[in-house]
Chains A and B, each alone.
Chain A
Amino acid sequence: MSSPHISPLVQAANEENDRVPGIPRRGSGFLDGPLRLATTPSATVGPYLAIGLTWPDGPYAAAEGTEGAIWLRGRVFDGRGDLVPDAMIETWQADPDGRFAHPDDPRGGQTVPGFRGFARSDTVDGGQYAVHTLKPGPVPDGEGGLQAPHVDVSVFARGLLDRVVTRIYFADEAEANAADPVLASLPDDESRGTLVAQRSEDGYVLDIHLQDCTDKGMVETVFFAV
């Protein structure tokens, strides 16, 4: 029935239950559009993510000792206002020039030596994350404007069947934040406030709230569909 030479996914893509609506498919004798494979469904990292996803240098987007490095810190809370001790956050960002170390940055990504733009930090120590990094520069928005300095953040945890995505902006970039198209797309200042990190002793802090917790006055962080 199944040929070992054809990926089962490609075979399965011909089955009715794998169609992505609106995309034509094989079967009529003519291939009248792209054959699109449906993506693999996401799942929770479960409570034991530290087994597989811990690196000694995980929290270091910028190597230790990098000049001008800061710590991004914060806590992750659930809908009862309790700390989430088994979450992990990952961050991805531009360097201080607003460039990404990636071939799809058409300006030719350049980064500071020792800076990789990516970090992951689990929250096993009482629900806190900490990422050692450089403050990113403004990033072109592709429409002639600039996005305010920001960090893309993924949150993973037991009880999250997919990652949730948010951003970190910086409180001392008021002017850039006011002109930022993503922040401008949010409905109100309270929403925007959930994304803006405040200055701290060694960098910035921003807590992440997975859910509203009204009796403690905690507002749900704005999460994005990417």
Chain B
Amino acid sequence: MTGTTSRAPRPAADSALVLPRYLRDPEEQRTPLAYPGYKSTGLRAPLRTPVDLPHRLTEVTGPVLGEDRVLPTDADLTLRMGGEAQGQRIIVFGRVLDSDGRPVPDALVEVWQANAGGRYRHVVDNWPAPLDPHFDGLGRVITDSLGRYEFTTIKPGAYPWGNHHNAWRPAHIHFSLFGQAFTQRLVTQMYFPGDPLFEQDPIYNAIPPSARYRAISRFDLDRTQDNWALAYQWDIVLRGKDQTPFETDDDGDVA
């Protein structure tokens, strides 16, 4: 970066502003904002119908966050503060794709989670499960050219919360992804297969039934590491572009 990046050779003619459009899944496939079983949505989910926002430049662009956000050690959550975290070591890996099946490279993936006992390192979380001095629950990676990511971590424990009598969150890892456009921003949670706590969990059940399995990772025996770690695969799909209308160069090539 010299700070003297030259401007584009073309003038900013509006005819050049043919923009990709990011497709939305149908409403019945998406998590609704209001879900009565999850009490906190009551005073926080907006009541009015959202206004459709056409996709303009602000929406089809998005933050480009590079390697400078990530340290090599951020991919391994089990080695922090001079020691090893307690619990079942796991590898969580997968690909970030768009809905056309294309990989999303260079995407920042941020994760955060509870420790093996189901407790977060956060001042507000003070239920009587032990804190692990060697687990802070934070990880970050950038996807490679094929959209792949991988973390080594500890299987998080279930934990109680005050939503209803004997409410317990199924084990989960929080994920945050940027993709390449404002429209692709996603915050979600990854679950583990066969969790007996799904049935009573309103955050899981707020997901439409036909979409729930997409939030559950897959145990992968082939990717376990002998004498070391179990492995779970979870692919993440961000919104894809409509039949992308690329702009045309002067020579007629598609830019």
Complex Cα distance, B236 from A45, in Å, reads 16
Give residues 102-150 of A contacting B (CB, 8 Å). 102, 104-110, 113, 116-118, 139-145, 147, 150
Give the distance to chain A from B51, nearest Cβ to Cβ, in Å: 5
Give the distance to chain A from B6, nearest Cβ to Cβ, in Å: 8
Interface: B62 (CB within 8 A): yes
Q: A94-B58, A104-B181 are in contact. Are A48 and B112 (CB under 8 A)?
A: yes
Give the distance to chain B from A26, nearest Cβ to Cβ, in Å: 12
Contact among A35, A42, A113 with B31 in the assembled complex (CB-CB below 8 Å): A42
Contact among B136, B189, B235 with A9 in the assembled complex (CB-CB below 8 Å): B235
Contact among A20, A82, A105, A221 with B61 in the assembled complex (CB-CB below 8 Å): A105
Complex Cα distance, B137 from A79, in Å, reads 32
Contact among A21, A113, A150 with B58 in the assembled complex (CB-CB below 8 Å): A150
Complex Cα distance, B5 from A113, in Å, reads 10
B120 contacts A48, C-beta separation under 8 Å:
yes
Complex Cα distance, B94 from A4, in Å, reads 12
Give the distance to chain A from B216, nearest Cβ to Cβ, in Å: 10
Interface residue total, chain A, C-beta cutoff 8 A? 91
A165 contacts B237, C-beta separation under 8 Å:
no
B46 contacts A223, C-beta separation under 8 Å:
yes
Give the distance to chain A from B202, nearest Cβ to Cβ, in Å: 10
B26 contacts A182, C-beta separation under 8 Å:
no
B214 contacts A41, C-beta separation under 8 Å:
yes
Q: A51-B136, A93-B58, A161-B206 are in contact. Are A8 and B218 (CB under 8 A)?
A: yes
Q: A8-B233, A139-B58 are in contact. Are A211 and B46 (CB under 8 A)?
A: yes
Q: Give chain A residues whose Cβ lies under 8 Å from the Cβ of B176.
A: 45, 52-53
Complex Cα distance, B178 from A55, in Å, reads 15
Interface residue total, chain B, C-beta cutoff 8 A? 104
Helix, strand, loop or mixed for chain B's interface?
loop
A226 contacts B182, C-beta separation under 8 Å:
yes
Closest to A212 in B: B47
B50 contacts A224, C-beta separation under 8 Å:
yes
Q: A42-B30, A108-B7 are in contact. Are A161 and B41 (CB under 8 A)?
A: yes
Complex Cα distance, B179 from A162, in Å, reads 16
Q: Give chain B residues whose Cβ lies under 8 Å from the Cβ of A162.
A: 30-31, 33
Contact among A40, A140, A181, A185 with B57 in the assembled complex (CB-CB below 8 Å): A140
Complex Cα distance, B240 from A143, in Å, reads 23
Complex Cα distance, B61 from A102, in Å, reads 6
29 contacting pairs across A/B (C-beta < 8 A): A7-B97, A12-B214, A20-B25, A20-B99, A34-B100, A39-B239, A41-B188, A41-B214, A43-B31, A43-B203, A44-B187, A47-B122, A47-B124, A52-B111, A52-B112, A84-B44, A92-B61, A93-B58, A104-B19, A106-B17, A107-B7, A113-B3, A139-B57, A142-B17, A152-B59, A154-B185, A157-B44, A224-B52, A226-B55
Given contacts A12-B213, A41-B31, A102-B62, could you give 20 more A-B pairs where the C-beta distance is less than 8 Å?
A: A4-B222, A18-B214, A20-B25, A37-B240, A38-B237, A46-B174, A48-B120, A79-B44, A100-B58, A106-B16, A110-B7, A118-B62, A139-B56, A141-B14, A141-B56, A142-B17, A164-B46, A223-B51, A226-B22, A226-B59
B contacts, CB < 8 Å to A: 1, 3, 5, 7-10, 12, 14, 16-20, 22-26, 29-33, 35, 38-48, 50-65, 69, 95, 97-101, 110-112, 120-122, 124-125, 136-139, 174, 176, 180-183, 185-189, 203, 206-208, 210-215, 218, 220, 222, 233, 235-240, 247, 255
A contacts, CB < 8 Å to B: 2, 4, 7-10, 12, 17-18, 20-21, 34-53, 55, 78-80, 82, 84, 86, 90, 92-94, 100-102, 104-110, 113, 116-118, 139-145, 147, 150, 152, 154, 156-165, 181-182, 185-186, 210-212, 220-226
